[in-house]
Each structure stands twice: as C-alpha cells, then as structure tokens.
Amino acid sequence: MLDEKLLEILVCPKCKGKIVYSKEENKIICETCRLKYGVLNDIPIMLIDEAESY
Ligand SMILES: [Zn+2]
C-alpha cells in the first residue's frame, strides 16, 4: 500500500501536474499526459521512459 503522504507530494515528471493512484491497477496515473507509472514494492517509478501511455 502506497503512503498517502507520498502520493500527495508526487507529481508527474513530465507535466509536473497532479497524479492519481489506481488501487486496482497499482499504478500512478497522469490524466493530462495519459501516462501510467508503475509501482514496485510500494515505490512509485516516476520515470517517463518507464511509463506506459494509454
Ligand atoms: Zn503528466
């Protein structure tokens, strides 16, 4: 489970905008860039190169 305080300070590395966390997918989502960032061992992988577009 991701720390909520961590989620509050996280921003999308591409647009510096707000992100949302999808519990079902266990992914961090930027709706502006339409990118999904993975989460590994409760650590968000905030890398544009590693993100998947949707
Ligand atoms: Zn973004």
CA of 23 to the centre of ligand 1 (A): 19
Counting the structural domains of the chain, the total is 1
Closest listed residue to residue 36, CA positions, set 19, 53, 20, 24: 53
Q: Return d(Cα 23, Cα 15) in angstroms, integer.
A: 22
CA of 2 to the centre of ligand 1 (A): 19
CA of 30 to the centre of ligand 1 (A): 5
Give me the tens of pLDDT residue by residue for the chain, a chain 54 residues long: 788 899 999 999 999 999 999 999 999 999 999 999 999 999 999 999 999 999
pTM above 0.85, yes or no: yes
Q: 33 lies in which domain range?
A: 4-53
CATH (domain of 23)? 2.20.25.10
Closest listed residue to residue 19, CA positions, set 1, 37, 3: 37
CA of 29 to the centre of ligand 1 (A): 8
